[in-house]
Amino acid sequence: MRAVRYHEHGGPEVLTVDDVDRPEPGGHELLVRVAAAGVNPVDTYFREGSYEPYELPMTPGSDFAGVVEGAGDWTPGFEAGDRVFGTGLGRDHQGTYAEYVLVPTDRVAHLPENVDFAGGGGAGVAAVTAWRALIDHAELEPAETCLIHGGSGGVGHAAVGLAAATGAEVVTTASPDYHDDLRDFGADAVFDYRDEDLEEAVGEYEPAVILDHRLDEYLDFDAAVAQQGARIVGIGNTQPQAGWENVPAARAKELRVQLMSMFNTPDLSARLERIARLMEREELAIRVERSYPVEEAGEAQRAVMNESFLGKLVIEP
Protein backbone atom coordinates (compact mmCIF):
# COMPACT_ATOMS: atom_id res chain seq x y z
CA MET A 1 0.00 0.00 0.00
CA ARG A 2 1.01 3.63 -0.36
CA ALA A 3 1.66 5.70 2.75
CA VAL A 4 3.04 9.17 3.37
CA ARG A 5 5.98 8.98 5.77
CA TYR A 6 8.73 11.09 7.27
CA HIS A 7 12.02 9.35 8.03
CA GLU A 8 13.45 12.35 9.86
CA HIS A 9 12.10 15.56 11.35
CA GLY A 10 11.97 18.70 9.25
CA GLY A 11 9.80 20.77 6.94
CA PRO A 12 7.10 19.51 4.56
CA GLU A 13 9.84 18.44 2.13
CA VAL A 14 10.72 15.44 4.37
CA LEU A 15 7.38 13.81 3.54
CA THR A 16 7.64 10.95 1.03
CA VAL A 17 5.15 8.51 -0.46
CA ASP A 18 6.44 5.00 0.24
CA ASP A 19 5.25 1.52 -0.67
CA VAL A 20 4.84 -0.39 2.60
CA ASP A 21 3.27 -3.66 3.69
CA ARG A 22 -0.42 -3.52 4.49
CA PRO A 23 -0.79 -4.10 8.25
CA GLU A 24 -2.83 -6.91 9.78
CA PRO A 25 -5.31 -6.21 12.59
CA GLY A 26 -5.06 -8.01 15.89
CA GLY A 27 -6.93 -7.98 19.17
CA HIS A 28 -8.92 -4.74 19.48
CA GLU A 29 -7.83 -3.33 16.12
CA LEU A 30 -9.65 -2.59 12.89
CA LEU A 31 -8.04 -2.39 9.46
CA VAL A 32 -9.65 0.59 7.72
CA ARG A 33 -9.36 1.46 4.05
CA VAL A 34 -8.93 5.23 4.26
CA ALA A 35 -11.22 7.35 2.10
CA ALA A 36 -10.24 10.71 3.67
CA ALA A 37 -7.69 11.81 6.27
CA GLY A 38 -7.96 15.18 7.96
CA VAL A 39 -4.98 17.55 7.93
CA ASN A 40 -4.35 19.30 11.25
CA PRO A 41 -1.70 21.65 12.63
CA VAL A 42 -0.75 18.96 15.15
CA ASP A 43 0.37 16.76 12.25
CA THR A 44 3.06 19.33 11.48
CA TYR A 45 4.22 19.48 15.11
CA PHE A 46 5.03 15.76 15.06
CA ARG A 47 6.74 16.07 11.67
CA GLU A 48 8.87 19.01 12.85
CA GLY A 49 9.81 17.27 16.10
CA SER A 50 8.05 19.71 18.45
CA TYR A 51 6.10 16.65 19.59
CA GLU A 52 7.79 13.27 19.46
CA PRO A 53 6.12 10.36 17.63
CA TYR A 54 6.79 6.91 19.04
CA GLU A 55 8.94 5.81 16.11
CA LEU A 56 10.48 6.76 12.77
CA PRO A 57 9.69 6.39 9.94
CA MET A 58 6.23 7.67 10.79
CA THR A 59 3.03 8.20 8.85
CA PRO A 60 1.39 11.48 9.90
CA GLY A 61 -2.30 12.05 10.43
CA SER A 62 -4.68 11.79 13.37
CA ASP A 63 -8.07 11.77 11.60
CA PHE A 64 -9.65 9.34 9.14
CA ALA A 65 -12.88 8.12 7.61
CA GLY A 66 -13.25 4.99 5.55
CA VAL A 67 -14.50 1.41 5.39
CA VAL A 68 -13.57 -1.52 7.65
CA GLU A 69 -11.61 -4.12 5.67
CA GLY A 70 -10.70 -6.46 8.50
CA ALA A 71 -10.92 -6.85 12.27
CA GLY A 72 -9.10 -8.48 15.14
CA ASP A 73 -10.60 -11.05 17.51
CA TRP A 74 -11.97 -8.48 20.00
CA THR A 75 -13.84 -5.85 18.01
CA PRO A 76 -17.52 -6.11 19.06
CA GLY A 77 -19.86 -3.86 17.10
CA PHE A 78 -17.68 -3.64 13.99
CA GLU A 79 -17.44 -5.81 10.90
CA ALA A 80 -16.10 -5.63 7.38
CA GLY A 81 -17.96 -3.11 5.24
CA ASP A 82 -18.82 -0.72 8.08
CA ARG A 83 -18.40 2.99 7.38
CA VAL A 84 -16.32 4.46 10.22
CA PHE A 85 -14.43 7.58 11.30
CA GLY A 86 -12.08 8.39 14.12
CA THR A 87 -9.05 10.21 15.46
CA GLY A 88 -6.11 9.99 17.87
CA LEU A 89 -3.49 8.36 15.61
CA GLY A 90 -0.16 9.65 14.27
CA ARG A 91 1.44 9.82 17.71
CA ASP A 92 1.52 6.40 19.40
CA HIS A 93 0.24 4.57 16.29
CA GLN A 94 1.08 4.99 12.64
CA GLY A 95 -1.09 7.73 11.16
CA THR A 96 -3.79 8.12 8.57
CA TYR A 97 -2.16 9.60 5.43
CA ALA A 98 -2.21 6.13 3.87
CA GLU A 99 -4.38 3.76 1.90
CA TYR A 100 -4.98 1.61 5.00
CA VAL A 101 -4.62 2.26 8.72
CA LEU A 102 -4.81 0.14 11.88
CA VAL A 103 -7.21 1.67 14.41
CA PRO A 104 -7.84 0.63 18.04
CA THR A 105 -11.57 0.33 18.65
CA ASP A 106 -11.50 2.97 21.39
CA ARG A 107 -10.68 5.61 18.73
CA VAL A 108 -13.40 4.91 16.17
CA ALA A 109 -17.17 5.19 15.67
CA HIS A 110 -19.64 4.41 12.91
CA LEU A 111 -20.02 7.13 10.29
CA PRO A 112 -23.66 7.97 9.51
CA GLU A 113 -24.80 7.17 6.00
CA ASN A 114 -25.75 10.81 5.34
CA VAL A 115 -22.22 12.08 6.13
CA ASP A 116 -19.69 11.88 3.31
CA PHE A 117 -16.20 10.51 3.85
CA ALA A 118 -14.54 13.92 3.45
CA GLY A 119 -16.64 15.42 6.24
CA GLY A 120 -16.05 12.38 8.44
CA GLY A 121 -12.34 12.42 7.69
CA GLY A 122 -12.10 16.04 8.77
CA ALA A 123 -14.22 15.69 11.89
CA GLY A 124 -11.96 13.98 14.43
CA VAL A 125 -9.54 16.51 15.94
CA ALA A 126 -11.84 19.46 15.25
CA ALA A 127 -15.04 18.06 16.70
CA VAL A 128 -13.51 16.10 19.59
CA THR A 129 -11.40 19.10 20.65
CA ALA A 130 -14.51 21.28 20.55
CA TRP A 131 -16.47 18.70 22.56
CA ARG A 132 -13.69 18.24 25.09
CA ALA A 133 -13.32 22.00 25.55
CA LEU A 134 -16.96 23.08 25.64
CA ILE A 135 -18.71 20.07 27.14
CA ASP A 136 -16.14 18.19 29.24
CA HIS A 137 -14.11 21.10 30.59
CA ALA A 138 -16.29 24.22 30.35
CA GLU A 139 -19.55 22.34 31.04
CA LEU A 140 -21.42 24.62 28.64
CA GLU A 141 -25.12 24.78 29.46
CA PRO A 142 -28.16 25.70 27.34
CA ALA A 143 -28.81 29.46 27.06
CA GLU A 144 -25.32 30.38 28.29
CA THR A 145 -23.29 32.70 26.09
CA CYS A 146 -20.19 31.20 24.51
CA LEU A 147 -17.36 33.13 22.82
CA ILE A 148 -15.32 31.19 20.27
CA HIS A 149 -12.19 32.87 18.97
CA GLY A 150 -11.30 32.04 15.36
CA GLY A 151 -14.64 30.61 14.32
CA SER A 152 -13.49 29.92 10.76
CA GLY A 153 -10.77 27.46 11.80
CA GLY A 154 -11.10 23.70 11.93
CA VAL A 155 -11.84 23.53 15.65
CA GLY A 156 -13.52 26.95 15.55
CA HIS A 157 -16.25 26.12 13.05
CA ALA A 158 -16.90 22.77 14.75
CA ALA A 159 -17.17 24.57 18.09
CA VAL A 160 -19.65 27.07 16.66
CA GLY A 161 -21.87 24.22 15.46
CA LEU A 162 -21.52 22.26 18.69
CA ALA A 163 -22.26 25.25 20.93
CA ALA A 164 -25.31 26.10 18.83
CA ALA A 165 -26.50 22.48 19.09
CA THR A 166 -26.44 22.74 22.91
CA GLY A 167 -28.74 25.76 22.79
CA ALA A 168 -26.08 28.28 23.76
CA GLU A 169 -25.88 31.83 22.41
CA VAL A 170 -22.80 31.76 20.19
CA VAL A 171 -20.47 34.71 19.62
CA THR A 172 -17.42 34.27 17.41
CA THR A 173 -14.65 36.18 15.60
CA ALA A 174 -13.42 35.77 12.04
CA SER A 175 -12.48 37.63 8.89
CA PRO A 176 -15.50 39.30 7.23
CA ASP A 177 -15.37 36.85 4.31
CA TYR A 178 -16.59 34.10 6.64
CA HIS A 179 -19.29 35.89 8.64
CA ASP A 180 -22.28 34.67 6.63
CA ASP A 181 -21.03 31.08 6.65
CA LEU A 182 -20.55 31.15 10.41
CA ARG A 183 -24.08 32.40 10.91
CA ASP A 184 -25.19 29.41 8.84
CA PHE A 185 -23.22 27.16 11.19
CA GLY A 186 -25.16 28.60 14.13
CA ALA A 187 -23.38 31.75 15.30
CA ASP A 188 -25.68 34.43 16.72
CA ALA A 189 -23.10 37.21 16.43
CA VAL A 190 -19.89 37.36 14.36
CA PHE A 191 -17.26 40.08 14.70
CA ASP A 192 -14.13 40.96 12.75
CA TYR A 193 -11.24 40.13 15.06
CA ARG A 194 -9.45 43.26 13.78
CA ASP A 195 -12.19 45.69 14.85
CA GLU A 196 -10.88 48.47 17.07
CA ASP A 197 -13.98 48.27 19.27
CA LEU A 198 -13.99 44.46 19.49
CA GLU A 199 -13.61 44.36 23.26
CA GLU A 200 -16.57 46.68 23.77
CA ALA A 201 -18.75 44.83 21.25
CA VAL A 202 -18.04 41.36 22.64
CA GLY A 203 -18.18 42.62 26.21
CA GLU A 204 -21.87 43.40 25.79
CA TYR A 205 -22.53 39.64 25.60
CA GLU A 206 -20.59 38.84 28.81
CA PRO A 207 -19.71 35.27 27.79
CA ALA A 208 -19.84 32.55 30.42
CA VAL A 209 -17.60 30.23 28.36
CA ILE A 210 -14.67 31.19 26.14
CA LEU A 211 -12.79 28.91 23.75
CA ASP A 212 -9.42 30.45 22.88
CA HIS A 213 -6.65 29.13 20.62
CA ARG A 214 -4.27 32.03 21.35
CA LEU A 215 -4.25 32.53 25.09
CA ASP A 216 -0.78 34.02 24.90
CA GLU A 217 -2.34 36.99 23.07
CA TYR A 218 -5.94 37.17 24.21
CA LEU A 219 -6.12 36.33 27.92
CA ASP A 220 -6.33 40.00 28.92
CA PHE A 221 -9.13 40.44 26.37
CA ASP A 222 -10.93 37.34 27.65
CA ALA A 223 -10.72 38.55 31.22
CA ALA A 224 -12.11 41.94 30.23
CA VAL A 225 -15.18 40.62 28.37
CA ALA A 226 -16.04 37.58 30.50
CA GLN A 227 -18.78 37.49 33.09
CA GLN A 228 -18.12 36.74 36.76
CA GLY A 229 -16.95 33.15 37.23
CA ALA A 230 -16.57 32.45 33.51
CA ARG A 231 -14.74 29.36 32.25
CA ILE A 232 -11.93 29.83 29.71
CA VAL A 233 -10.48 26.83 27.84
CA GLY A 234 -7.20 27.17 25.98
CA ILE A 235 -6.43 24.91 23.02
CA GLY A 236 -3.65 24.78 20.46
CA ASN A 237 0.09 25.09 20.77
CA THR A 238 0.05 28.24 22.90
CA GLN A 239 -0.20 28.99 26.61
CA PRO A 240 -0.99 32.01 28.77
CA GLN A 241 1.75 34.55 29.29
CA ALA A 242 3.80 34.21 32.47
CA GLY A 243 1.97 35.66 35.43
CA TRP A 244 -1.48 35.30 33.86
CA GLU A 245 -2.94 34.46 37.25
CA ASN A 246 -2.16 38.04 38.29
CA VAL A 247 -4.25 39.62 35.50
CA PRO A 248 -6.43 41.88 37.69
CA ALA A 249 -9.69 41.15 35.87
CA ALA A 250 -9.07 37.41 36.01
CA ARG A 251 -8.64 37.53 39.76
CA ALA A 252 -11.51 39.94 40.34
CA LYS A 253 -13.92 37.85 38.27
CA GLU A 254 -12.62 34.54 39.70
CA LEU A 255 -12.18 33.12 36.21
CA ARG A 256 -11.35 29.46 35.68
CA VAL A 257 -8.66 28.84 33.05
CA GLN A 258 -8.26 25.29 31.71
CA LEU A 259 -5.54 24.11 29.31
CA MET A 260 -6.20 20.90 27.41
CA SER A 261 -5.03 18.43 24.79
CA MET A 262 -7.35 16.22 22.74
CA PHE A 263 -4.82 13.39 23.02
CA ASN A 264 -5.61 13.16 26.77
CA THR A 265 -9.28 12.31 26.09
CA PRO A 266 -9.98 9.18 28.19
CA ASP A 267 -12.50 7.62 25.77
CA LEU A 268 -12.39 9.00 22.25
CA SER A 269 -15.00 6.59 20.93
CA ALA A 270 -17.66 7.85 23.37
CA ARG A 271 -17.23 11.42 22.12
CA LEU A 272 -17.09 10.29 18.50
CA GLU A 273 -20.38 8.41 18.87
CA ARG A 274 -22.16 11.52 20.15
CA ILE A 275 -20.58 13.66 17.46
CA ALA A 276 -21.84 11.14 14.90
CA ARG A 277 -25.38 11.54 16.21
CA LEU A 278 -25.20 15.30 15.85
CA MET A 279 -23.86 14.97 12.30
CA GLU A 280 -26.57 12.45 11.44
CA ARG A 281 -29.22 14.93 12.65
CA GLU A 282 -27.46 17.70 10.68
CA GLU A 283 -26.96 19.70 13.88
CA LEU A 284 -23.19 19.62 13.34
CA ALA A 285 -21.39 19.75 10.00
CA ILE A 286 -17.72 19.74 9.08
CA ARG A 287 -16.85 21.98 6.15
CA VAL A 288 -14.08 20.68 3.87
CA GLU A 289 -12.37 23.46 1.93
CA ARG A 290 -10.02 21.33 -0.22
CA SER A 291 -8.80 17.78 -0.69
CA TYR A 292 -5.34 16.61 -1.80
CA PRO A 293 -3.86 13.34 -3.11
CA VAL A 294 -1.15 11.72 -1.02
CA GLU A 295 1.52 13.07 -3.38
CA GLU A 296 0.56 16.61 -2.24
CA ALA A 297 0.62 15.93 1.51
CA GLY A 298 3.45 18.43 1.96
CA GLU A 299 1.43 21.14 0.24
CA ALA A 300 -1.58 20.30 2.42
CA GLN A 301 0.54 20.71 5.55
CA ARG A 302 1.91 24.03 4.29
CA ALA A 303 -1.64 25.23 3.62
CA VAL A 304 -3.01 24.23 7.02
CA MET A 305 -0.36 26.37 8.72
CA ASN A 306 -0.13 29.33 6.35
CA GLU A 307 -3.42 29.87 4.53
CA SER A 308 -6.74 31.36 5.59
CA PHE A 309 -9.79 29.20 4.85
CA LEU A 310 -13.03 28.08 6.43
CA GLY A 311 -13.12 24.56 7.83
CA LYS A 312 -10.80 21.66 7.09
CA LEU A 313 -8.37 20.22 4.56
CA VAL A 314 -8.28 16.49 3.83
CA ILE A 315 -6.09 14.02 1.99
CA GLU A 316 -7.85 11.39 -0.12
CA PRO A 317 -5.52 8.41 -0.78
Integer Cα distance of 156 and 172 in angstroms = 9
> Which of 17-31, 233-247, 275-289 is predicted with the least confidence, judged by mean pLDDT?
233-247
User: Are 172 and 141 part of one and the same domain?
Assistant: yes
- 160 part of a folded domain: yes
User: Are 11 and 118 part of one and the same domain?
Assistant: yes
Q: What is the pLDDT of residue 251?
A: 74
User: What's the CATH number where 104 sits?
Assistant: 3.90.180.10
What does residue 105 show for φ and ψ, rounded to 5 degrees? -70, -15
pTM for the structure as a whole: 0.95
Arithmetic mean of pLDDT, 98-118: 98
User: Are 141 and 241 part of one and the same domain?
Assistant: yes
What confidence category does residue 219 fall into, taking pLDDT thresholds of 50, 70 and 90?
A: confident
Q: What is the pLDDT of residue 236?
A: 82
User: What's the CATH number where 191 sits?
Assistant: 3.40.50.720
User: Are 134 and 146 part of one and the same domain?
Assistant: yes
What confidence category does residue 20 fall into, taking pLDDT thresholds of 50, 70 and 90?
A: very high
Q: What is the pLDDT of residue 56?
A: 97
Q: What is the pLDDT of residue 239?
A: 65
User: Are 130 and 119 part of one and the same domain?
Assistant: no
- pLDDT tens digits, 137-170: 999 999 999 999 999 999 999 999 999 999 999 9
Is the pLDDT reported for residue 245 higher than 60? no
What mean pLDDT, rounded, does the chain reach? 94
Q: What is the pLDDT of residue 240?
A: 63
Nearest C-alpha neighbor of 30 from the set 267, 45, 83? 83
- 304 part of a folded domain: yes
Arithmetic mean of pLDDT, 4-33: 97
- 257 part of a folded domain: yes
Provide the phi-psi class of 269: left if phi over 0, else alpha when psi is between -120 and 50, else beta.
Answer: alpha
Integer Cα distance of 243 and 127 in angstroms = 31
User: Are 158 and 232 part of one and the same domain?
Assistant: yes
- pLDDT tens digits, 39-75: 999 999 999 999 999 999 999 999 999 999 999 999 9
Q: What is the DSSP string of 110-177?
A: EPPTTS-HHHHHTTHHHHHHHHIIIIIIS---TT-EEEESSTTSHHHHHHHHHHHHTT-EEEEE--GG
- pLDDT tens digits, 117-143: 999 999 999 999 999 999 999 999 999
Domain that residue 216 falls in:
126-262
The count of domains in the chain is: 2
CB 22 within 8 A of CB 100: yes
User: Are 199 and 230 part of one and the same domain?
Assistant: yes
User: Are 250 and 296 part of one and the same domain?
Assistant: no
- 91 part of a folded domain: yes
- 86 part of a folded domain: yes
Integer Cα distance of 64 and 87 in angstroms = 6
- 278 part of a folded domain: no
CA atoms within 13 A on the CB side of 82: 20
- pLDDT tens digits, 224-243: 999 999 999 999 876 666 55
User: 135: Cβ–Cβ under 8 A, 6 or more apart, which residues?
Assistant: 162, 166
- 270 part of a folded domain: no
Q: What is the DSSP string of 224-278?
A: HHPPTT-EEEE-SS--PPTTGGG-HHHHHTT-EEEE--GGG-S-HHHHHHHHHHH
Burial 33-52 (b: 16+ CB within 10 A, else e): bbbbbbbbbbbbbbbeeebe
